[in-house]
Amino acid sequence: MKKCNSLQEVRDEIDVLDQQLIELISQRSHLIRQAAAFKDTIEDVKAEDRIDDVMQRARNKAISLGINPNMISDLFKVMIDEMVETEIAEFRNSGKF
Ligand SMILES: O=C(O)C(=O)C[C@]1(C(=O)O)C=C[C@@H](O)C=C1
């Protein structure tokens, strides 16, 4: 991690990371839309076991990096809840439901 020499430099670095985070979330969101095409039922779309795996992996990664796993769980919950809704809408629009 870069050592910054001023508050402005810290903020500039944060701004860059925030943009990258949003780009990554956007990429994830586009993949979710594709996932619906490979599913046959609403249970497949919800994929509760997969959500548990994703959440556990995210928590483990947070712990390994020394950040609060509960914060990551909260962020992922908001993100995945929204993406599941998107995927359900995509699934319905595909006419399979
Ligand atoms: O892995 C899937 O089946 C997905 O559709 C992706 C994803 C996710 O956000 O990671 C989204 C919806 C499902 O509830 C499970 C996981």
Break the chain into its structural domains and give their ranges: 7-93
Q: What is the pLDDT of residue 94?
A: 83
Q: Is 36 exposed, middle or buried (0-12, 13-18, 19+ CB in 10 A)?
A: buried
Atom of ligand 1 nearest to the CA of 54: 10
Is the minimum distance from the CB of 55 to ligand 1 under 6 angstroms? no
**What's the rounded mean pLDDT across residues 62-86?**
97
Atom of ligand 1 nearest to the CA of 39: 3
Residue nearest to atom 3 of ligand 1 (CA): 47
Q: What is the pLDDT of residue 97?
A: 57
| Higher-pLDDT residue of 91, 29 | 29
pLDDT digits (tens, 9 = 90+) for 15-73: 999 999 999 999 999 999 899 889 999 999 999 999 999 999 999 999 999 999 999 99
| Higher-pLDDT residue of 63, 96 | 63
Backbone angles phi, psi at 6, to 5 degrees: -160, 160
Which is the CATH superfamily of the domain at 7-93? Chorismate mutase (1.20.59.10)
